[in-house]
Amino acid sequence: MKSNPFNICPTCVHENTCVLTTQKSQVWSCSEYDEETVTIATKLKPKSIMKKEPKPEMAIS
């Protein structure tokens, strides 16, 4: 079954503990909805995908 493109449950902080409905794939509006504020960059773990280049050494002459 495809999930509803307007479904708000996957981005709600209460998804795992919510008891308002068992049909979470059908929810498009909810008075208890609190959006999860985790950014995509955090989920991708940027440290593992971005390589740091060594900084050039400063020389004093």
Question: Which one, of 4, 5, 11, lies nearest residue 40 by Cα?
Answer: 11
Asked if 8 and 24 touch (Cβ cutoff 8 Å), the reply is: no
- For residues 16-38, give the mean pLDDT: 87
Q: Which residue has the tokens 């960059």?
A: 41
Q: How big is the CA angle at 16 (ends 27 and 47), to the nearest 5 degrees? A: 105
If pLDDT is split at 50, 70 and 90, which confidence band does 38 have? low
pTM for the predicted model, two decimal places: 0.47
**Looking at residue 52, what is its pLDDT?**
64
